[in-house]
Amino acid sequence: MGEDAPLFAVLFALLVIGVLLRAHRLDDPKVLKWDEVHYVETARAYLAHHYAYNDHPPLSKLIISAFMAVIGDGPVGWRLPSLLFGLGNFAIIAWLTWTVFRSKRAAWIAAAFVAADGFFIAYSRTALLDGMIVAFSLLSITILLVGRRWWHVLLAGLFVGCATSFKLNGLAFVGTAMVICLASRALRRFTPLLLLTGLLVFYAQAAFTLWLVGRPFSPSAVVAENVAMVTHHLSYTVVHPMSSHWYTWFLPTRPISLRRDVDIDGSIRTLVTLGNPLLWWASTLAVIAVAVTVIRTGPRRIWALLKADGTPPGPRADDAPTAGADRSFLQDRAGALLWVLAAWAAPIVFWIPSLRDSYIYHFLPSYAFGLVLLAGLTDRMYRRYRLHTLLAVVLVAEVTLFYAPIWSELPLTQTALHARLFFPFWR
């Protein structure tokens, strides 16, 4: 730990900064911005036991309404659920990273990367649901990677059911979880339990909502409600100016300004869904590097790893930090890495054939899994190039501090704002 103290000092600083940027003036603005109006107004209707049309499943609005009932119908009541899920994602992504790479250091790196990234910060500061989807999607994959019992599958079904109950694109994780179960010798016979649990969770939150507003909540009524919702999505032809195609998310070309206000003195306060550019682009490179490793490992060895039902233990402390050792280490984990890659790709694949307009926030779950891979590779690089890797993490921290004003709505001049949104298509 002594020789790692500088690295952990930087990681701890990133975690603290991430918490502060998320919590800073959570009660401001006092009015609803961007899509907050849809979710909070629906939550208000639920509190009044009035029916409200949903273009997404209602679970997120039920959660927001529960907080509003306890804390009050105000900015903190609207946004506190997102903040808590956003903070919880630190621990969840660390757990998944440790599960895949068997390294506490990699787990701390992953938590710090999520803490320091503006994409996650933005969705921890708004009454929106995308950070909640990230939490349950990460949990569903992690519990299946560590699980060997029927109740692990039951929990995974609960988590994917919740993810789908926020938005229907959570179905991507139902498919991923099913494939993981079917490939596992210990879990495959419980695959129907996964589907049944997920379906029951989806039905329960929909039926409860209909009951809450005084409407029929039979299975046929729930089916009719969801058919109407899917029909609405399939018939939606309006293209929003902030929408973006999936293949632009890797740059990205359309980060969304969730809020933008001008103070009396002319300074600008804004909240932009732009992530830390270093982490964003490096995570894509990490996905490519891991995909190459999995391909080189070959289907036979990967299948043998999957049938073995487990990630091999981590390397010994005296393992030589060589390129060959790193390749062997990653190839020994090719089975788990394959599932992280699948979880990264699933939300993107969901949108490739879609006729409905898509947005950068649909990339948020994929980005989380990309950061898991980036953290694992950063840890491996640190074993070989300690100083260079430490300097790279310090640079991540510096970029976070540079972009902090547009992630926590600190006052900026127009010139300072353009310095951060240096590509014209980011403005």
pLDDT of residue 363: 95
- C-alpha–C-alpha distance, residues 206 and 226, integer Å: 9
Using pLDDT thresholds of 50, 70 and 90, give the confidence band for residue 317.
very low
pLDDT of residue 310: 52
The rounded mean pLDDT for the chain is: 90
Q: Is the pTM for the entire model greater than 0.85? A: yes
Half-sphere exposure of 256 (CA within 13 A, CB side): 23
> What ranges do the domains of the chain cover?
23-235+256-421
Q: Which amino acid is at 97?
A: T
What's CA 116's distance to the chain center, in Å? 14
pLDDT at 316 over 60: no
Q: Which of 86, 108, 129 is nearest to 9 (CA)?
A: 108
pLDDT of residue 311: 52
pLDDT of residue 205: 95
Using pLDDT thresholds of 50, 70 and 90, give the confidence band for residue 321.
low
SS (H, E, C) the chain: CCCCHHHHHHHHHHHHHHHHHHHCCCCCCCCCCCCHHHHHHHHHHHHCCCCCCCCCCCHHHHHHHHHHHHHCCCHHHHHHHHHHHHHHHHHHHHHHHHHHHCCHHHHHHHHHHHHCCHHHHHCCCCCCCHHHHHHHHHHHHHHHHHCCCHHHHHHHHHHHHHHHCCCHHHHHHHHHHHHHHHHCCCCHHHHHHHHHHHHHHHHHHHHHHHHHCCCCCCHHHHHHHHHHHHHHHHHCCCCCCCCCCHHHCCCCCCCCEEEEEECCCCCEEEEECCCCHHHHHHHHHHHHHHHHHHHHHCHHHHHHHHHHCCCCCCCCCCCCCCHHHHHHHHHHCHHHHHHHHHHHHHHHHHHCCCCCCCCHHHHHHHHHHHHHHHHHHHHHHHHHCHHHHHHHHHHHHHHHHHHHHHHCCCCECHHHHHHHCCCHHHC
- The pLDDT tens digits of the residues spanning 85-121 come to 999 999 999 999 999 999 999 999 999 999 999 999 9
